[in-house]
Amino acid sequence: MATTDHSFDGLTEYCAQCERETLHSVSIQIRTESTKQRNTAFSREPYRVSECQECNARESQRMNNA
């Protein structure tokens, strides 16, 4: 017999908005940092984006600090 798991697949992290540990959706996004059209292909950086599943607060952090 097949069973269904209705739980959300995410990470538990501290949420500053909720002031407690909550379930977060975490993803990696590639963002363009340059506003100059000529350099946009070379200005992409990875960011870690986490979103609280309780209050929808989002936090992003640049992964490269080179």
Residues belonging to the chain: 66
Q: For the chain, how big is the Rg over CA atoms in Å? A: 16
Helices marked H in the chain:
none
Q: What is the pLDDT of residue 35?
A: 78
Q: Please indicate, yes or no, whether the overall pTM of this predicted structure exceeds 0.75.
A: no
pLDDT in tens, 8-66: 567 899 999 999 999 999 999 998 887 777 777 778 899 999 999 999 999 999 998 75
